[in-house]
Amino acid sequence: MQNTKDLHHALTKDLEIHFVELPKWHYKKGAKMKRLERWLAYLSSKTTMEEREALAMVDEDIRTAMEAEKEFVQDYEYISAYDRQEKYLRDQEAREAFVREEGEAAGFAKGKVEGKAEAKKELIIAWRNKGKPDSEIAELLDMDVDEVKQIK
């Protein structure tokens, strides 16, 4: 693993991290696939069950993973725990979306009120500059004369 700031020295010789974006990865069919390519194919949603089974025939580790996967989907407790975790994550996402929407709505409402107040203030100033009396401005904007007088 390299130091990403200056790339001049290794942080450790015991760890390598590779990021692969599976949706961008293209499955190579054939027996000449490298070990990493077989695992990427196994994990890709584009790979069919028949192709996964063919990979398991070639790679013992993938066969072991497939057996563990089959065992997992047959065990009610595992599935139940998985479903609970998925539900928890969906609930968290929904809560965050709700809070975000509420915040956006509150911000929009506040901005709308502030925008109206700013627009009224600009109208009052413009009309005063044109010589309109405060009483007429107040009537046009449905405000008290005292409110109009406070805005300068």
Q: What is the pLDDT of residues 25-50, one digit of tens each?
A: 777 776 688 888 899 889 888 888 99
What does the alpha-carbon distance between residue 134 and residue 127 come to, in Å, rounded to a whole number?
A: 9
Report pLDDT for 46: 83
Which of 5-9, 39-43, 77-81 has the lowest average pLDDT? 5-9
Mean per-residue pLDDT of the chain: 84
Residue whose pair of structure tokens reads 């015991």 in the numeric block: 14
Q: What's the whole-number mean pLDDT along residues 80-87? A: 92
Instruction: Name the pTM for this structure.
Output: 0.44
Q: What's the whole-number mean pLDDT along residues 116-125? A: 84
Encoded amino acid at 49, one letter = M
For 121, list phi and psi in degrees, rounded to 5: -60, -45
Helix, strand, or coil here: 10? Answer: strand
Report pLDDT for 84: 93
What does the alpha-carbon distance between residue 24 and residue 84 come to, in Å, rounded to a whole number?
A: 30
- 30 in Cβ contact with 36 (< 8 Å): no
Encoded amino acid at 86, one letter = E
Report pLDDT for 7: 62
